[in-house]
Amino acid sequence: MKNLYENVGFLDQKCYQTYNLPEDILMEHAAAALSEAVKKRVDEGAKILIVAGPGNNGGDGVACARQLLGEYEVGLLMPYGAKSEMCKKQLDRFLACGGEVSDDIDEADIVIDALFGSGLAKPLKDDAVHLIHRLNQTNAFKIACDIPSGIDIKGNPLPIAFEADLTITMGALKAALFMDHAKDYVGEVEVADLGVSKKLYESESLWKLLEMSDLLPPYRDRKDSNKGNYGHLSVIAGEKEGAAIMAALSALRFGTGLVTVVTYEKIHVPYELMHSSSLPPKTTALAVGMGLGLEYSDEDFERLVLNRDLPIVIDADLFYSQKILQLLQKPKIVLTPHPKEFSSLLKMCAIAQVSVDEIQKDRIGFVQKFCEAYPEAVLLLKGANPIIAKGDQLFVNPLGSNALAKGGSGDVLTGLIGALLAQGYDPLDAAIQGSLAHAVASQKVDVANYALRPSDLIEAIGDL
């Protein structure tokens, strides 16, 4: 896991005040990271276009232009001039070294965007929108300095953003880079050191970015064991039993010793699953909500779910039912809504009445509001980059792909989390590991990204 921050201004201040590193030194290191990225990708003599803004983000770009002079054909475009003191200083140095400021966009092998930094707070003006649109149309490898220009602090394009192949962010990772709306713009993300090591620059953060190496599948180390050692998940089925069956198969694939589909209806379940009209007495966790429908009787729900002191993973239809308010009083729950379901949940809990679009523009903000109201619950907000949170802890999973945008994918995720709850995992760990397994499995299925089926995903769980 890597530390994640809303902004890193306080970390820069630590460099100035504690390490006696002036702004000039940090800027030179930022520029050096951009220059090194260029040198890794093109040979000497290549054409480099750097588009710099008037502030310190632009100053990073101007310093990079100076560092590349002599070895590369450097074009520096400054449509808004230089306004910050550091940007002015860097421009003076660039001109003193023989550099010239361009007056238009030329074709280049690499384009570096250093227009606007991570502090963007209002929509771009028409001229900036036009400029970024032209940069996006160039046939060049595109590098963003710190954050693609046009992305605000919450990860939203305002209304357009530079489409980077690579973002070199300065000092530490910003959460905005990993929000859903930013995913089409950031490309690969690298962190530039600013004159001190990561350990000295960063402070511990309660926000984390998950990595592939954080995935720890439930491998079995104990040789003397039986199915009872690996838990028993009961999946409550409702009107659309297929959703419950997919969750159950997913749980079985992810290590649960026994999985039972619980329903009063006579339905066909795959032979490896069990079927019952009552909750098996040795159940160790529950999964409920997938395909449940809204007509499930209060009496049945109370008997099967509310009266049980078991860990529960909750999905889908329950986010539209008042029954969710009773479940939120339980101590070990994981909620897995997509944004529309989360909108309903927030309204049901009297936290906020907001649209899906409003949630997507401030995913972390609304997750925090929910977690303040229900600090013991674990929330997994689905999306391009799922957010998992409990209390003041927050984790972002950037490993998923658009292949997962398919009906049934969420049922598989519910099964994965339920499997781990049944095996004794803490709810937060179960949500983190289930989300990682879900994302990584999607990368292992060798089909076109439009062709992934839930059954493919379940099969891939065995290859983690």
Residue pLDDT, tens place only, 310-363: 999 999 999 999 999 999 999 999 999 999 999 999 999 999 999 999 999 999
Q: What is the pLDDT of residues 163-200, one digit of tens each?
A: 999 999 999 999 999 999 999 999 999 999 999 999 99
> What's 407's DSSP letter?
T
DSSP 175: G
Calculate mean pLDDT across residues 18-25.
96
What does residue 102 show for φ and ψ, rounded to 5 degrees?
-80, 165
Residue 448 identity (one-letter amino acid): A
Q: Which of 415, 417, 438, 439 is nearest to 428 (CA)?
A: 417
Q: How far apart are CA 309 and CA 331, in angstroms?
A: 9
pLDDT band at 136 (very low <50, low <70, confident <90, very high): very high
pTM of model > 0.85: yes
Q: Please check the confidence at residue 450 and state whether its pLDDT lies above 70.
A: yes
Per-residue tokens: 195: 């004159």
Distances (CA, A) of 395 to 207, 337, 368: 6, 16, 12
Share of the chain above pLDDT 70, in %: 100
User: Which residue in this structure is represented by tokens 């049901």?
Assistant: 348
Please state, in angstroms and rounded to a whole number, the distance separating the CA atoms of residues 135 and 145.
14
The predicted pLDDT at position 362 comes to 97
Q: Which two tokens stand for residue 385?
A: 């980059």
Instruction: Give me the percent of the chain exceeding a pLDDT of 90.
Output: 91
Q: Which of 198, 214, 246, 142 is nearest to 399 (CA)?
A: 214
Contact status, residue 212 vs residue 188, Cβ threshold 8 Å: no
Instruction: Classify domain 2-203 by CATH number.
Output: 3.40.50.10260
Give the span between the Cα atoms of 157 and 153, in whole angstroms. Answer: 10
Angle between helices 85-96 and 56-68 (to 10 degrees): 20
Q: What angle do CA 170, 172, 178 make, to 5 degrees?
A: 100
Tell me what pLDDT residue 117 has. 87
Measured CA to CA, the distance from residue 259 to residue 248 in angstroms comes to 6
pLDDT of residue 295: 63
Q: What does the pLDDT read at residue 299?
A: 85
- Please, is 186 exposed, middle or buried when counting C-beta atoms within 10 Å of its C-beta (0-12, 13-18, 19+)? buried
Query: pLDDT-based confidence at 422, cuts 50/70/90?
Result: very high
Query: Per-residue pLDDT averaged across 275-283, rounded?
Result: 94
In the sheet with 101-102, reading across from the earlier edge strand, the strands are 101-102, 73-77, 47-52, 110-114, 141-145, 166-170, 188-192
434 has a pLDDT exceeding 70: yes
pLDDT(203) > 90: yes
Residue 264's pLDDT is 83
Task: Return the SS3 of 432.
Answer: helix
Residues comprising the chain, all counted: 464
**Would strands 2-5 and 207-209 be described as parallel, antiparallel, or unpaired?**
antiparallel
Tokens coding 237: 């089925």
E strands, 37-128, where?
47-52, 73-77, 101-102, 110-114
Element (H, E) at 61: helix 56-68
Cα 330 to its chain centre, rounded Å, is 27
Q: Give the tens place of pLDDT for each residue, 369-400.
A: 999 999 999 999 999 999 999 999 999 999 99
Residue type, 88: K
Tokens 């000295």 correspond to: 200
Domain ranges (residues) in the chain: 2-203, 213-463
Instruction: Please state, as a whole number, how many other Cβ atoms lie within 10 Å of the Cβ of residue 96.
Output: 9
Q: What is the mean pLDDT of the chain?
A: 96
Q: Would the CA dihedral through 174, 175, 179, 181 be positive or negative?
A: negative
Domain 213-463 CATH superfamily: Ribokinase (3.40.1190.20)
